[in-house]
Structure 1
Amino acid sequence: MLTSHFMPKLLTGACMLGSVLLIGNACAATSINLSYNGAPDPEKNAVHVFATNLKELVEEKTNDAIKLQLFPNSMLGGEEERMEQTMNTPMLNIASFAGVSPLADEIFVSAIPFLFEDFDAARTFFDEGDYWLALSDTLQDRAGIDMLAVVEEGGFLAFTNSERPISHPDDFKGLRFRAMDPSQVALYESFGASGTPIPWTETYMALRTGVANGQMNPPMYIALASLYEVQDYLTLANIQYSDQFLVGNSAMIAGWDDELRSAFMEAVNEANQNAREANESQVDSRIAYLEEQGMEVIRPSEEDLEAFRTVGQPAYLAWLAERGIGQNWIDMALEDADMGEFND
């Protein structure tokens, strides 16, 4: 359900109706803002790598009819503020769950833990599944925002902790974990641990001082935040697919002619494929780096992974139900995940 903070404002004037091409003398601007989180550092921010590649490809494929202006580090505002701007002005944004969920809470269904066996399964889910198509249509209908791409930001989440190797849900008992949101609290509690929401900026110190024993993130973020200095064990359990979402103002995109829109989407798809290939190619080297820094890497057996799924998924599904998300959304997603996982 939309909050009042996110209710669309009435768009006025030809420029606000979408086209960045010539619409009268007053609307000749060809520049579109692209906002996103994180530093403009290719070594530290996979989303920035995607954004810079997208800029190059859009300008190349549209013959500079569209030029992107990049605004990293949340320069245009926080998650909700940037989504409101995307609703009401011709712009693009790379949003996290925090940006999309106030408009389409059903997006949390895509983060059901242990849903995907590997990258191929996750990509099939988002590229071909009925759930994601329905979610995209819902976002457009409610907010006037097009879902353009699912952007990988570092692989699958892994568990880390400073107390003992974790290879099975029973190994969590008695531990304290940093949680990103209430859904992670529910997951940890299902394993017999406790979870406390702690901001990312405070996570290193919380782990260092023992406020929390562990956390979960992709290997890329574990390395970039130097969490290996305060965490001894890394469990590769493919918990959740780590992603953000490229979105754009629907009226803007609808206002382009077919040729321009096709060229733009070709650039989006190519940039996304490039990002996927680059991300997957670095997963093993990132894990190897963490091993070199002294972390013990645990690779759970198939039996143990199934135990994680059996215990953890029901807790997350119960959390979704508490948020009032309909069972039809969950059923669609679970069916699509089976399609992605087993359609080899």
Structure 2
Amino acid sequence: MTFMRSFKTLALGGLVSAAIALPSMAADVTIRLAHLNPADPFASHSGAMTSVFKSLVETASGGDIEVLLFPDGQLGKDNEVIQQVRDGIVQSTISSAGGVAQHYPLVGVFDIPFAFPNIAATDRVMDLSSNFGKKFAGGLEKETGLKVLGLLDSGGFFAFTNSKRPITSVEDMKGLRIRTMTLPTHQAMVNSLGGQATPLPWAEVYTALQTGVADGQMNPIPVIAFAKFDEVQKYLSITNHVITPYVWTMNQDFYNGLSAEHKEIVDWAAKVAVNAGRGMSRVIEASAKGLPKLAEKMEINAIPAAEMQKFAEAAQPAVRKLIEEKYGAEGIEMLDAMLAEIKG
């Protein structure tokens, strides 16, 4: 580690230490768990997950384990918090694919457009119990040294929003500056459709849409709703073009240092919490908090099947080519393993 990196790590550690509350003296173990989204368990899937995890762990351990929650990106940008977990400053985080990509780029294999036919297939494949889930988690753990506690979708299939016009065809994408996560695969996807990919970290998205730095963005319906993008976007086009993962990680040394009983509690609670997160995403999508709420301010349209096929034909080859060029044989192997799992 260079002196500059050491200095930055120490400085960051000091800032984070100042931001987090001191653990209770009654607990033998403290887990600091961070995520990007609102704390309200009825507003976001990671809010639901962390609330359930905290309740189950603290109750099952009889108070021996305390879980401190840091929602709303309190501890920094997604990729920064992952680094804090790797460095042992924070014990655990639930992260978007954009943050994960800067530590494990092969998360980009999820970004083949229109690969998942429905949410049931997503739940089956994007899970630690599937063959692909085990392969993906194993690769991430080997590359980063992190323990993977959970794998699930980021809130549902993505839709496009923008402030310029409804998107009803590929031609409507031309020239639109679409905010993407810092994922090369997402950038390739948007550019292949004629848009201008504008990669930005999550914390900057609302302001970018408000000021016109970006014309639009793409996210699942629950994310668009809790982020209040209906305040700064006029059009929502349902494309269901991609679905990305959220990855729940923990510092491996911290996990290894837990007693066998505490490991069992953490593993069990994380599994239940992931299921709660999946369920909450579906509840938000189907309730007045989802599309009905957005429809109060936004013009919503669904893209016809014939046009969706044109989207797929334009975007799929571009993303597969990028994965092959950027990640080589390892990337294609991971991608093909995912596609095989989807087919069952």
Residue 269 of structure 1 and its aligned partner are, at CA, apart by 1.2
Q: Is the 1:162–1:213 contact (alpha carbons within 8 Å) kept by the matching residues of 2?
A: yes
1:29 corresponds to which residue?
28
Give the letter aligned to residue 302 of structure 1: A
User: Whole-Å Cα distance in 2 between the matches of residues 249 and 230 of structure 1?
Assistant: 37
Residues 171-213 of structure 1: per-residue CA shift (max 9 Å, x gap): 3234332333343332122112222234545544544555543
1:323 to 326, 337, 342: 326
Q: Is the 1:34–1:93 contact (alpha carbons within 8 Å) kept by the matching residues of 2?
A: yes
Q: How does 1:156-305 map onto structure 2 within 5 Å? A: 156-181=157-182, 182-208=184-210, 210-285=212-287, 286-290=289-293, 292-305=295-308
User: Whole-Å Cα distance in 1 between the matches of residues 32 and 309 of structure 2?
Assistant: 44
TM-score normalized by the length of structure 1: 0.79
Q: How does 1:128-167 map onto structure 2 within 5 Å? A: 128-167=129-168
Give the letter aligned to residue 306 of structure 1: Q
Residues 241-265 of structure 1: per-residue CA shift (max 9 Å, x gap): 2442111122333344444322322
**How many correspondences in the alignment?**
318
Q: Is the 1:34–1:70 contact (alpha carbons within 8 Å) kept by the matching residues of 2?
A: yes
Residues 198-239 of structure 1: per-residue CA shift (max 9 Å, x gap): 454554454455554322122223233433244332221112
User: Whole-Å Cα distance in 2 between the matches of residues 319 and 271 of structure 1?
Assistant: 34
- Tell me the secondary structure at the aligned position of residue 110 of structure 1: helix
2:311 corresponds to which residue?
308
Structure 1: which 5+ residue stretches go unaligned?
A: 8-27, 340-344
Distance verdict in 2 for CA 1:138–1:4, change over 3 Å: farther
User: Is 2:88 the partner of 1:60?
Assistant: no
1:336 corresponds to which residue?
341
Residue 151 of structure 1 and its aligned partner are, at CA, apart by 4.4
1:342 corresponds to which residue?
none
2:116 corresponds to which residue?
116
Give the letter aligned to residue 181 of structure 2: M
Give the letter aligned to residue 306 of structure 2: E
User: Whole-Å Cα distance in 1 between the matches of residues 201 and 83 of structure 2?
Assistant: 23
Give the letter aligned to residue 336 of structure 2: D
Residue 160 of structure 1 and its aligned partner are, at CA, apart by 1.5
User: Whole-Å Cα distance in 2 between the matches of residues 242 and 186 of structure 1?
Assistant: 15
1:49 corresponds to which residue?
48
User: Whole-Å Cα distance in 1 between the matches of residues 41 and 242 of structure 2?
Assistant: 23
**Percent identity of equivalent pairs:** 31
Distance verdict in 2 for CA 1:171–1:47, change over 3 Å: same
Distance verdict in 2 for CA 1:257–1:327, change over 3 Å: same
Distance verdict in 2 for CA 1:230–1:31, change over 3 Å: closer
- The farther-off stretch of 184-193 and 87-96 is 87-96
- Tell me the secondary structure at the aligned position of residue 253 of structure 2: helix
Structure 2: which 5+ residue stretches go unaligned?
A: 7-26
Q: Is the 1:159–1:214 contact (alpha carbons within 8 Å) kept by the matching residues of 2?
A: yes
- Tell me the secondary structure at the aligned position of residue 117 of structure 2: coil
- Tell me the secondary structure at the aligned position of residue 233 of structure 2: coil
Q: Is the 2:126–2:245 contact (alpha carbons within 8 Å) kept by the matching residues of 1?
A: no
Residue 299 of structure 1 and its aligned partner are, at CA, apart by 2.1
Q: Is the 2:45–2:278 contact (alpha carbons within 8 Å) kept by the matching residues of 1?
A: no
Distance verdict in 2 for CA 1:337–1:170, change over 3 Å: farther
Q: Is the 1:218–1:242 contact (alpha carbons within 8 Å) kept by the matching residues of 2?
A: no
Aligned-residue CA RMSD (Å):
3.1
Distance verdict in 2 for CA 1:291–1:134, change over 3 Å: closer
Q: How does 1:64-79 map onto structure 2 within 5 Å? A: 64-79=63-78
TM-score normalized by the length of structure 2: 0.79
Give the letter aligned to residue 86 of structure 1: V
User: Whole-Å Cα distance in 1 between the matches of residues 140 and 186 of structure 2?
Assistant: 24
